[in-house]
A and B are shown apart, each in its own frame.
Chain A
Amino acid sequence: MTRILVPCILSLTVGVAAGWKLHPAAAAPIDSKLTPEHVLFGGHSTPVNSGNIDMSAMRAMIHEELRSALADSSRDVPSPKPAPKQATPEQLAQQRNAVETIDGLVAGGVWGEEQRRTFREKLVALDPEQREHALQQLTTGINSGTIRVTVDGSPL
Chain B
Amino acid sequence: MRQLFLASALAVSLSAGSIVYAGLGHLYPVAIYGSASGGSAAGSFQGAHLSADKTNYISCSTAQFTNLSGVSVLNVGCTATANGVTRSCVSYSPSLMTVAALTSINPSSYVYFQYDARGNCTYISVTNQSIDDL
Question: Which of A's residues lie within 8 Å of B, judged by CB?
Answer: 84-85, 87, 91, 94-95, 120, 123-128, 131-132, 135-136, 138-140, 142-145, 149, 153-156
Question: Which of B's residues lie within 8 Å of A, judged by CB?
Answer: 36, 59-61, 63, 65-71, 73, 75, 77, 79, 81, 85-90, 92, 115, 117-120
Q: Please, which residue of chain A has its CB at the minimum distance from the CB of B70? A: A85
Distance, CA A47 to CA B69, complexed state (A): 60
Q: Given A143-B36, A143-B115, A144-B36, decide whether A156 and B69 contact each other with a Cβ distance below 8 A.
A: no
The 4 A-B residue pairs with the shortest CB-CB distance, nearest first, are: A139-B119, A156-B77, A144-B36, A143-B36
Are A124 and B79 in contact (CB-based, < 8 A)? no
Are A124 and B75 in contact (CB-based, < 8 A)? no
Instruction: Name the B residues within 8 Å of A135 (CB-CB).
Output: 75, 77, 90, 92, 119
Majority-rule SS of A interface residues = helix
B60, B71, B86, B115: most-surrounded residue (chain A CB, <10 A): B86
- Which residue of A85, A95, A128, A154 contacts B79 across the interface (Cβ within 8 Å)? A154
Are B115 and A139 in contact (CB-based, < 8 A)? yes
Are B68 and A94 in contact (CB-based, < 8 A)? yes
Q: Please, which residue of chain B has its CB at the minimum distance from the CB of A131? A: B73
Are B68 and A125 in contact (CB-based, < 8 A)? yes
Are B69 and A142 in contact (CB-based, < 8 A)? no
Are A155 and B88 in contact (CB-based, < 8 A)? yes
Are A155 and B79 in contact (CB-based, < 8 A)? yes
Distance, CA A139 to CA B71, complexed state (A): 23
A131, A132, A139: most-surrounded residue (chain B CB, <10 A): A139
Are B119 and A125 in contact (CB-based, < 8 A)? no
Distance, CA A107 to CA B44, complexed state (A): 32
Instruction: Name the B residues within 8 Å of A144 (CB-CB).
Output: 36
Instruction: Name the B residues within 8 Å of A153 (CB-CB).
Output: 59
Q: Given A135-B119, A139-B115, A140-B117, decide whether A126 and B67 contact each other with a Cβ distance below 8 A.
A: yes
Q: Given A149-B81, A155-B79, A156-B77, decide whether A143 and B119 contact each other with a Cβ distance below 8 A.
A: yes
A–B pairs, 10, beta carbons within 8 Å: A91-B68, A91-B69, A126-B67, A127-B67, A140-B36, A142-B119, A143-B88, A154-B60, A154-B79, A156-B79
